[in-house]
Amino acid sequence: MSREYPAFPIPGVAAVTINKGKVLLVIRGKSPNLGKWGIPGGVVEVGETVEEAVVREVYEETNIVVKPIKLITIFDSIGRDSEGKVRIHYVLLEYLCEYVSGEVKAASDAPDAKWFALNEMDSINMMENTRKFVKQVIKQEGIE
């Protein structure tokens, strides 16, 4: 199924992973928001659970093994073209994940990956809604 002008919404996952006061981020290698930092994630593949998809996507993008510990939120990402037709529609499941193992190394799915100190959040070139979301998760989960 095409990701543009899909016949059905596409399920996707993303992971907020915080370890020792740092959050795991990746540079977006594809549109939307190409070249900006964001949380690792991607599309659920046929035959895998959403939690398996979270683990796989984080590993593919960062070389880090995580364990999903909590579904934080589910939301729709819908984009329309100039004629009002639905160009993209993802149903995104956002997970809080626990670091398990690995050293950060950007993989084929992301040009760069890095742990950022939580107090660096305001100076990172990232989508504003992602910045707000990560800060909200940190606050609601009592992470410092």
Residues 59-71: tens digit of each pLDDT:
999 999 999 999 9
Nearest to 78 by CA among 133, 6, 1, 2: 6
134, two tokens? 């990560």
For position 35, what pLDDT does the model report? 87
- Within-domain flag for 144: no
Task: Check whether 72 has a pLDDT greater than 80.
Answer: yes
Other Cβ atoms closer than 10 A to 142? 6
- Within-domain flag for 1: no
- Within-domain flag for 3: no
- Within-domain flag for 142: no
pLDDT band at residue 52 under the 50/70/90 scheme? very high
- Within-domain flag for 46: yes
Beta-carbon contacts of 134 under 8 Å, excluding residues fewer than 6 positions away, are 16, 23, 39, 121
Assign residue 65 the CATH number of its domain: 3.90.79.10
Q: Is pTM, for the whole model, over 0.75?
A: yes
26, two tokens? 């990746």
Containing 64, the helix (H) or strand (E) segment is none
Task: Check whether 29 has a pLDDT greater than 90.
Answer: no
Q: What's the mean pLDDT when you consider all of the chain?
A: 92
Beta-carbon contacts of 33 under 8 Å, excluding residues fewer than 6 positions away, are 127
For position 30, what pLDDT does the model report? 75
Nearest to 38 by CA among 140, 144, 132: 132
Task: Check whether 141 has a pLDDT greater than 80.
Answer: yes
**Residue 105 is part of which domain span?**
10-136
What DSSP state is assigned to residue 21?
T
- Within-domain flag for 80: yes
- Within-domain flag for 88: yes
The dihedral built from the CA positions of residue 54, 56, 57 and 63, taken in this order, carries a sign that is: positive
- Within-domain flag for 4: no
Q: How many domains does the chain have?
A: 1
Condensed to tens digits (0 to 9), the pLDDT of residues 82-132 reads 999 999 999 999 999 999 999 999 876 788 999 999 999 899 999 898 899
